[in-house]
Structure 1
Amino acid sequence: MADSLVTAQAADRMRSRWPVLLPAAAAALLLTWLTLSAGSKEESSVAGLPGSDAGAAWLVPMLQVLHDLAAVMTVGCLLGAAVLLPGDRLLGAAGYRWVRTAGWSALVWSLLSLAAVPALLAEFLGRGFSVVTPTAVVQFLADSPQAQARVVVAVLAAVLAMAARVVLTMGGTLGLLLVALLAALPPALVGHAGGTGGVYGPTAVALHVLGVVLWAGGLVALLVCRSISVGAVGAAVSRFSRLAGPLALLVGGSGVLSALTRLSDPAQALGSSYGLLVLIKLVAFVGLIVVGAWHRRWTMPALVAGRPAAFLRLLSVEVVLFGATMGVAVGLSRTPPPTAPAAAQGGGGHAVPDVVVPASPSPGALLDVHPGLVFPVLAAAAIGFYLAGVRRMSARGRPWPWLRTLAWSASWALVLLVTSSGLASYGGVLSSVHVLQHFTLSLAAPLLMVLARPGRLAMSALRPSTGQDLRGPREWLVALRGRPVMGTVLHPLVALPVYLVVNYSVYVSGLYGWLLRSEVADVVFFPLFLMSGTLFFRALLGPAGPGTAAAPRLPVVLAALAGWAAVHGAVAIVVLRSGPLLAAEWWSQLLRLWGPMPIEDQQTAGRIAATYGVAMLFATVIAILRRRRRPREITAHSAATAVVEPQVQGTS
């Protein structure tokens, strides 16, 4: 009876914390106003920053604050339902409410994104809203990356709002969470924060945004959760606490890196409005870390003991502080840095603005380090987790084949070679280098990854979750393998068209020019190339579907392989080697002073693509034949997995 009373009181307190979101939003709006007022005397000359219409200049950042808060609410509620709560395949009552709340906040998010388009146009024109007409808005959408980003967000958020009305499973909720994270990125990447700072700018901003929406969103979700017992709240808080540390590290590290790319001298941190706002954000970040430490030391033990009041009070303060910090961040995004980042000295010709043409390639330049963030971080994490799994298997007396470890390491070495070495500096100025990057990421590296069997290693090395009804990484893998859709996606004749569309449509559309000139495009498409290639080779070399040990029928595999070879050969020979110049407008603006003419280099790219295709065709055939000669190993692994998987039965 007492336990029931405590649970009821806790639920009431959870409901009573909804009003805290109002002062959090008010703090965000107030801090935005203060930061804009402080920086209003500095004229903006940075690409991506607005003009000077008074009404729109204030409306746009205020809409941005509300837009960001709606994004945080959406991501947080989906994170809570998919990751923080215990549950089987179906959502529980609290998870159901979280998803429905995410649907409403996604609707607000979508509407605010659409409302920002005419406001941005009025600000751009500098003559108020009287000149904003439907025709002007349509033209603005065709020409402005910022407006296009808002429409993309509006569409994705609208999809989330509709899907949240019908999703009832944890797997579906996880899918919605991934879409929400994707929707949070476009405005940041096309603004001045993502558009400057060299190669670090887009990736640092993307990582910063993802860290913020997950960290702040998780806090908001815990604040507004209801119809959940104290024990379940404690479990959710404990799980989020394990996520908060890495998220804080991600937010702090990416924020510092982004600031360093815009402050050429430490003295500018005190001598400019931009630098002072960076320091204010740093102080607020430290405050959030202190509050988190206080939670761990004092309020979380009280929550576990059934006394949630102190935890909720401090959580309310934390959410308001986060709202104020987001207000400062919006003001910072509207404030020009004291000086533009120093551009690298290329010496290889005259390029369009913000693009440096490197000097003529040499062996030393090709082996130099190309600064970046996404792929080194991904490679370090992938190799680190893989080696940890290998070590755990060895500790259990089940040594992992060293050739697979070598294949995994070699695959990521290839990824780093084409994305983070000096070779990457020439990807935007030489078609031949870009094609080499593309097909290394979509063919060579994925084949090695599939041969390394990371999924099998994960299933063997990961331990089942110790929390009751809480899904850990292994439980999510088991659930994913058990989905009927996986059997469809991993069929060779389904994976083939996915691969063809992702990889070859860029050469018959305007995307090729965007890939050449944009660092943001690399961040978007290079992972897509890698994932589509991994899916394709997994379909050719792996089991026919979840729960089966047999590979797809050989005629089906060979038909898919022949289809790929035909399309690849056509693109290499007809489009690249013999076709007209692709992205001609880009090459006319680039004015490279060394090397072959663009059309000659494109023909070289065609020869590279054709050679790459022949080599990969032979390598894939050899891998398929070796795979067919070792059915006993596959059957033995299937039996071993069947012995282990009942431990997590009920989580899929």
Structure 2
Amino acid sequence: MPRILRVIGPAALLLAAVAAMIAALAFGGGAAAPLLADPGALVRWGLPAATLVVNLSLAGTVGALVLACFAFSPDRDEYGNALDFAAGSAAVMTVASAATGLLTFVSVSNVPWSFDATFSNGLSSFITSVSLGQAWLGITLIAAAVTVLCFAVRNQTAIVFVTLLAMATVVPMAQQGHSAEAAGHDAAVTSFGLHVLFAAIWLGGLVTLIVVKQRLGNGRLVTVLERYSTVALICFVVVAASGYVNAELRVGTLAELATPYGILVLVKVAALVVLGLFGLAQRRYFIGRLKQSGEPRSFWWIVVAELAFMGIASGVAAALARTVTPVPETRAATPTPAEILTGEKLPPALTWDRLFTSWNFDLLWVLACAFGLFFYFAAVWRLRKRGDKWPIYRTVLWTLGIVLLFYITNGGVNVYEKYLFSAHMSAHMVLTMGVPLLLVPGAPITLAARAIRKRRDGSRGGREWLLLAVHSRFASVISNPIVAAVLFAGSLWVFYYTPVFRWATTDHIGHEWMIVHFLITGYLFVQSLIGIDPVKYRLPYPFRLLLLLLTMAFHAFFGLSIMQMHGLLLADWFGAMGRIWGDSPLVDQQAGGGIAWSIGEIPTVILAIVVAIQWSRSDERETKRRDRNADRTGDAELNAYNERLARMADRDRVSR
């Protein structure tokens, strides 16, 4: 590739992004002067421009870090170059996010620019007391920390945590966009966060390839490009799905696509379609040509064109954030108590048919379940293709577990758990006991270790990271049966009798954390009892049964304590919904305690039966092993034992 293309590629991205942003702002009216309280042209045009720089620098940071973790070898120059590029991008992001926070303050406060105490005090109050200002302050601080860490840390394992920290900037970004105060807030936060994060990985990864290209030979380029192509395909799916959800929330009906906001959405969709075609051509044609005939110059010109379309999408996205949406973002003039608390209308009375026919889709878990099934099936197919066997019952149980997880996170239980403590407790019990009971026998770690190809160039792929995590000290601690049991049962009391319960109930991020926490603690506990995947230590079967009974007794005691309570856990939430159907909040809470006490008995019995069966089969295998050993050695072990007893008897007679 000519050296000039290393300049033209990023330049095409920047020029296309800026041109698209200016055109989109002019077309959609995002930079038009308001009739009242005009903050000035500098703010009206500077705020979307600063936001665009934040988005592009976030892409450079996250994309480079992801490739450093997944595609590059730490003992090659490519790895260090990627981290240097990530550090530079994070530094730009630090400055841009600080500028964005400053411009946002001027935009929302209408305080004129000055260097006096009024402006500085207002700015200080904005970034410390107002959620919007706190968000930009948090983004700035995280970006600054990532800048320092990218220079200071070079260990690949530690870089994973730096990558997660960089990704955390998406959380405050997602909580301040369109629909932050309107109905559909939870779906908007999830879809916007996923959209920004995976678009950043996709775009930043491609720019990183151009930056480190000089360090890659032709053969190495193909290898890295194949790895990036896999990441880009996943990103395309997530970006497309999250983009659709965003458009549905903010555009509303097909007729609204004729509005300026709708037309800009269509432009962004067109750019995404073109990018998808680029990705398809890359996977199906260009990578093959690189393998056969070396590096064609046309390939890099295609990459430049791809970056230009990514710039168009990024510029339009920055303008859309400032464009009025067809769907109003304000609450109703006279909101109901449920709308005040949750932002959503109170659902109709809960009935058995609504429990199984009502849906409230959570895009994060829709995608997680879809990818969980796809990659599991792909791994099984790869094993069978090379002639290896995989028990069908494991695939069936894994599929049932994912289907159950999909229903709990998207079905009727998810519709009502904000309003009914009993629905919340039902979700808790299924997530922590029902879903793991099906997923654990699927042995996903064993399957992945057998199906994912081993890396031989010093880099770490899915197999290497998975095995490293499984054999880490942290994993050996939390997978210990005693620790797993304490986490499983003890977290009940910590969760429901501390402010964590309020956070997980009233905040969408807390709700997502709650699901992950329940799944992990339940999975670890079930894994310690009946798991197939490797762990450092397992209890003997009699102690497994004892641990199960003790833990579930503790679990049942928790349920009984909820049943006997005469006050609400979150009275200003569950008791303030204005609900006129169903049981009273206190009776419903007591029913939730009954669910915690009674539903836990079913998995307990199943787990006890499975442990007993495994115990019996273990004894049978041990007996057969001993029989085979006796046949092979002519009962040498038994004869040696008898001879030892005879010698002991002889010594006793002599001593007498």
Q: TM-score range by the shorter chain?
A: 0.7 to 0.9
| 1:103 equivalent in structure 2 | 87
Matching of residues 166-181 of structure 1 within 5 Å? 166-181=152-167
Is contact 1:490-1:544 (8 Å) kept? no
| 2:638 equivalent in structure 1 | none
Q: Counterpart amino acid of 2:167?
A: L
What do you get for the CA RMSD once the two structures are aligned? 4.1
Q: Partners in 1 of 2:391 and 2:475 — Cα distance?
A: 27
Look up the SS of the partner of 1:66 in the other structure. Answer: helix
- Which of 279, 283, 299 is equivalent to 1:311? 299
- Which of 195, 200, 205 is equivalent to 1:218? 205
- The CA deviation at 1:544 is 10
Q: Per the alignment, do residues 154 and 444 of structure 1 end up closer, same or farther by CA in structure 2, a change over 3 Å counting?
A: farther
- The CA deviation at 1:167 is 4.0
| 1:37 equivalent in structure 2 | 26
Is contact 2:181-2:329 (8 Å) kept? no
Matching of residues 228-307 of structure 1 within 5 Å? 228-270=216-258, 272-292=259-279, 295=282, 304=291, 305-307=293-295
Look up the SS of the partner of 1:69 in the other structure. Answer: helix
Matching of residues 298-377 of structure 1 within 5 Å? 304=291, 305-307=293-295, 309-340=297-328, 351-352=339-340, 354-372=343-361, 373-377=363-367
Matching of residues 598-637 of structure 1 within 5 Å? 598-631=585-618
When structure 1 is superposed on structure 2, of 407-416 and 169-178 the one drifting more is: 169-178
Kindly indicate whether residue 496 of structure 2 is the aligned counterpart of residue 507 of structure 1.
Answer: yes
- Which of 110, 124, 129 is equivalent to 1:126? 110
- The CA deviation at 1:376 is 3.3
Is contact 1:24-1:323 (8 Å) kept? yes
- The CA deviation at 1:572 is 3.8
When structure 1 is superposed on structure 2, of 401-410 and 287-296 the one drifting more is: 287-296
Q: Per the alignment, do residues 135 and 419 of structure 1 end up closer, same or farther by CA in structure 2, a change over 3 Å counting?
A: same
Of all paired residues, the percent bearing the same amino acid is 25
Deviations 1:416-465 (A, max 9, x none): 332222232111110110111122112221232113322223334x1535
- Which of 39, 47, 52 is equivalent to 1:60? 47
- The CA deviation at 1:495 is 4.2
- The CA deviation at 1:166 is 4.6
Is contact 1:369-1:422 (8 Å) kept? yes
Is contact 2:59-2:200 (8 Å) kept? yes
Is contact 2:425-2:595 (8 Å) kept? yes
Q: Counterpart amino acid of 2:151?
A: R
Q: Counterpart amino acid of 2:150?
A: A
TM-score (norm 1): 0.80
Q: Partners in 2 of 1:283 and 1:625 — Cα distance?
A: 58
- The CA deviation at 1:264 is 3.0
- The CA deviation at 1:32 is 2.9
**Structure 1 unmatched ranges of 5 or more:** 1-9, 636-652
Q: Per the alignment, do residues 416 and 26 of structure 1 end up closer, same or farther by CA in structure 2, a change over 3 Å counting?
A: same
Matching of residues 58-97 of structure 1 within 5 Å? 58-85=45-72, 87=73, 90-97=74-81
Is contact 1:493-1:556 (8 Å) kept? no
- The CA deviation at 1:391 is 5.1
- Which of 435, 440, 452 is equivalent to 1:450? 440
Is contact 1:106-1:157 (8 Å) kept? yes
| 1:3 equivalent in structure 2 | none
| 1:183 equivalent in structure 2 | 169
Q: Partners in 2 of 1:171 and 1:633 — Cα distance?
A: 42
Deviations 1:438-497 (A, max 9, x none): 22112221232113322223334x153587666554344344444444323422344456
- The CA deviation at 1:185 is 3.8
| 1:6 equivalent in structure 2 | none
Q: Per the alignment, do residues 505 and 62 of structure 1 end up closer, same or farther by CA in structure 2, a change over 3 Å counting?
A: farther
- Which of 160, 168, 171 is equivalent to 2:146? 160
Q: Per the alignment, do residues 525 and 333 of structure 1 end up closer, same or farther by CA in structure 2, a change over 3 Å counting?
A: farther
| 2:636 equivalent in structure 1 | none
Kindly indicate whether residue 368 of structure 2 is the aligned counterpart of residue 378 of structure 1.
Answer: yes
Is contact 1:18-1:224 (8 Å) kept? no
Q: Based on CA coordinates, which of the two structures has the bigger radius of gyration?
A: 2
Q: Partners in 1 of 2:224 and 2:37 — Cα distance?
A: 45
Q: Partners in 2 of 1:557 and 1:165 — Cα distance?
A: 47
Q: Counterpart amino acid of 1:456?
A: T
Corresponding pairs, count: 610
Q: Per the alignment, do residues 257 and 479 of structure 1 end up closer, same or farther by CA in structure 2, a change over 3 Å counting?
A: same
Q: Partners in 2 of 1:119 and 1:560 — Cα distance?
A: 58
Is contact 1:507-1:575 (8 Å) kept? no
When structure 1 is superposed on structure 2, of 615-624 and 73-82 the one drifting more is: 615-624
- The CA deviation at 1:77 is 0.8
Deviations 1:309-360 (A, max 9, x none): 443344234324322321210111222211349999xx99853273111111
Q: Counterpart amino acid of 1:80?
A: L
| 2:629 equivalent in structure 1 | none
- The CA deviation at 1:563 is 8.0
Deviations 1:491-545 (A, max 9, x none): 2344456556866544234443444345554344323322332234334544897
| 1:434 equivalent in structure 2 | 424
Kindly indicate whether residue 514 of structure 2 is the aligned counterpart of residue 525 of structure 1.
Answer: yes
Q: Counterpart amino acid of 2:48?
A: P
- Which of 583, 587, 591 is equivalent to 2:578? 591
Q: Partners in 2 of 1:381 and 1:190 — Cα distance?
A: 28
Look up the SS of the partner of 1:259 in the other structure. Answer: helix
Look up the SS of the partner of 1:252 in the other structure. Answer: helix
Q: Partners in 2 of 1:18 and 1:203 — Cα distance?
A: 35
Look up the SS of the partner of 1:584 in the other structure. Answer: coil
Q: Partners in 2 of 1:499 and 1:113 — Cα distance?
A: 40
Is contact 1:444-1:616 (8 Å) kept? yes
Q: Per the alignment, do residues 634 and 223 of structure 1 end up closer, same or farther by CA in structure 2, a change over 3 Å counting?
A: farther
TM-score (norm 2): 0.79
Look up the SS of the partner of 2:400 in the other structure. Answer: helix
Is contact 1:230-1:308 (8 Å) kept? no
When structure 1 is superposed on structure 2, of 59-68 and 112-121 the one drifting more is: 112-121
Q: Partners in 2 of 1:25 and 1:342 — Cα distance?
A: 34
Q: Partners in 1 of 2:316 and 2:90 — Cα distance?
A: 23
**Structure 2 unmatched ranges of 5 or more:** 623-656
| 1:538 equivalent in structure 2 | 527
Q: Partners in 1 of 2:153 and 2:600 — Cα distance?
A: 42
Q: Partners in 1 of 2:378 and 2:261 — Cα distance?
A: 42
Q: Per the alignment, do residues 622 and 95 of structure 1 end up closer, same or farther by CA in structure 2, a change over 3 Å counting?
A: same
Is contact 1:464-1:475 (8 Å) kept? no
- Which of 172, 183, 188 is equivalent to 1:201? 188
